[in-house]
Structure 1
Amino acid sequence: MPRVRVPAVLTACAAVVGLVLTTGCSSSGDGPGQAKGGVDVVEKDKLTTCTHLPYPPFQAEQDGKVVGFDVALVDLVAKNLDVEQKILDTPFENFKTGAFLNSGECDLAAAGMTITDERKKNVDFSVPYFDATQALLTTKKSGVTALADVKSKKLKLGAQAETTGESYATGQGFDPVAFESSDAVLNGLRTGQVDAVVIDYPVVQGWLKDKANADAFALGENIETGEQYGFSVKKGNTELKAAIDKAITDARADGTYDKLYEQWIGPLPEGRS
């Protein structure tokens, strides 16, 4: 996947229920420390997560809190390490390069990020924690049900910049209009800037839960791309990667993962219920 807007409503370095959310701030406090199990952290007693808001249902601000599926999973890691999760809202394009990890601003990145060979050159990924697909979302009045329709009717296609959705559309011969966040993509569709968009299916799934959206827009097709999401850490940070892998694996084994999935994503995939 991916994203790129810093919401104006967020106050820099604001405390958020158990999480500290900052926008463009450096890690502050007591300086580097060490969490349980000898895991080094960039700020004492904190597990600092770089993300990109908003990207519901994985991470978004809700009633003054940062919540979502990614947030909940990283909270499990933080709990195991006996620290508190702190969240930094950062531009998504830096996630591919590992810039915020290398600069010591963050311990990990969690942003509904697809594991790719290109990104593996710059960061180390956890075990996959989510199987993702892309989706074509269209206006009902367009009559579009597939990408082939978009092409044959010469309609405008949108996607989020720097994401696998944009890459997929480009690979299919499109020159998609690029938007900087998932919200901007959907707003572009809503306001008629584009006629259809390619975006991560869970985003579409959540968006269509709203009746007003469901009345005007429709899922054109699911696009199976074999994508999987992972959390990323700085190259060579084997201790933190192991801690993240353990939290994900344990959550899958004890049922916690399924409960969080149903809470934030929706019904479990067929065969998992």
Structure 2
Amino acid sequence: MNLNVMLDRRNFLGMFGAAAGAAVLAGCGGASSAGSNGSSGAQKGDASAAGYTLVTAGKITVASDLANPPFDFVENNEPKGFEVDLMKKIAEKLGLECEYLPAMKFDSIIPLVKQGGKADVGVSNFTITDERKQEIDFSDAYIDSNQGVVTKVGSQKTDAGSLNAEGVTIACQSGTTGEAWAQENLPKATIKSLDDPVAAVTGVQTGLYDAAAADLPVMKYLCSNSFTDCQVSIEIPTGEQYGIVVSKDNAGLTDAINKALAELTDDGTIKQLEIDWFGSEI
């Protein structure tokens, strides 16, 4: 994927930002209506019978920043990526359609899901943390991850010692575990909070920032595909796990998603999605 694809999200935001409160971007698959998979699908698609509620009957509505390739991003005004395909598979298991809202800032997703009424779930590389669990529920984990620090090829600042210094600027996505790690471990550096990791790595590439910290799979992907003059200099073994964000008031939906995730794990679907998007199992 080239840089133009990565930056397509910014065009997408400009095109759809005014409609973010009401419009839905596009379906990402699943049954055309609850019950279109036959009698079994009809039972799965009946949200009230399954013990959960949905913003729109027959659909699971997803909030995402769509800014973390290859997990989620925008291409030709359509959501793409590992998590997008995963949500499609989950929707199919539940007999539902899957629709994404227009891209939004990462740190606005949990409050949106918590308040209800606009999004059923949040899916955007959300690390399961005790702090976040005070606000919302998480599904079971569907992937393991660590953090990565990117610097420009040829930089002399490629370790924590050289980056933890006055005059050094580290770019991070606002509200993420990458930002939290940088604040805790690089206290002498200036931490610059941005909307997404693509902007952070772009700043490293142009020399605006000395480094960028974000989810390791995202950083590896960006450096391999669009920012080949940048490199992952530090791999941080944080042992994180990603989960799907669900309102505490919708425990039945969490249970249904967990059942779908277990089935997708058992039948090898998640492993295949990892190979499709990351080149190998993670």
CA–CA separation in structure 2 for the residues paired with 1:57 and 1:120: 25
| Aligned equivalents of 2:51, 2:96: Cα separation in 1 | 12
Is structure 2 residue 192 aligned with structure 1 residue 182?
no
When structure 1 is superposed on structure 2, of 170-179 and 194-203 the one drifting more is 170-179
CA 1:17–1:253: 2 relative to 1, 3 Å: same
Does the alignment pair 1:238 with 2:261?
no
Counterpart pick for 1:7 among 9, 13, 23: 13
Check whether the contact 1:7–1:53 (CA below 8 A) recurs between aligned residues: no
Change beyond 3 A, Cα 1:213–1:99: closer
Contact 1:35 1:81 in 2 (8 A): no
Does residue 142 of structure 1 match 2:155?
A: yes
C-alpha root-mean-square deviation of aligned residues, in Å?
Answer: 2.4
Find 1:93's aligned residue among 104, 107, 110.
Answer: 107
Counterpart in 2 of 1:256? 269
Aligned residues: 251
The CA deviation at 1:94 is 2.3
Residue type at the aligned position of 2:208: Q
1:78 and 1:85 in contact (8 A); partners too: yes
Structure 2: distance between partners of 1:254 and 1:35: 27
Is the 1:169–1:175 Cα contact (8 Å) retained in structure 2?
A: no
CA–CA distance in structure 1, aligned partners of residues 260 and 49 of structure 2: 14
Flag structure 2 segments of 5+ consecutive residues without an equivalent. Answer: 1-8, 30-45
One-letter amino acid of the structure 1 residue matched with residue 170 of structure 2 = L
- Is 1:202 aligned with 2:217? yes
Give, in angstroms, the shift of residue 9 of structure 1. Answer: 4.3
The residue matched to 2:208 in structure 1 has which SS? coil
Q: How far does the alpha carbon of each residue in 1:75-132 deviate from its partner, in whole angstroms, 9 at most, with x for none?
A: 1221122111111123221234x33342311111111111111110010000011111
Q: What letter is aligned with 1:157?
A: I
Higher percent of residues as helix: 2
8 Å contact from structure 2 (residues 166, 190) kept in 1: no
Contact 1:36 1:81 in 2 (8 A): no
Q: Secondary structure at the match of 2:181?
A: helix
Matched residue type, 2:134: K
Preserved contact between residue 47 and residue 85 of structure 1 (Cα < 8 Å) = yes
Q: Show structure 1 runs of 5+ residues with no match.
A: 20-32
Report the structure, 1 or 2, having the larger strand content. Answer: 1
Match of 1:247 in 2: 260
CA distance in 2, matches of 1:36, 1:257: 27
* Other-structure match for 1:156: 169
Cα deviation 1:207-247 (Å, max 9, x = unaligned): 1222x622x21110100112111001111422110111112
Tell me the distance in 1 between the aligned counterparts of 2:237 and 2:119: 32
Q: Determine the structure 2 residue equivalent to 1:16.
A: 26
CA contact (8 A) 1:113 1:230 kept: yes
Return the letter of the residue paired with 2:227: N
Q: For the Cα contact (< 8 Å) 1:49–1:107, is it kept in 2?
A: yes
Same amino acid, percent of matched pairs: 29
User: Does the alignment pair 1:111 with 2:124?
Assistant: yes
TM-score scaled by length of structure 1: 0.83
Q: Deviations over 1:57-87 (max 9, x none)?
A: 1111123321111111111221122111111
The one-letter code sitting in structure 2 at the alignment partner of 1:187 is T
- 1:165 — aligned with what? 178
Letter matched to residue 202 of structure 2: N
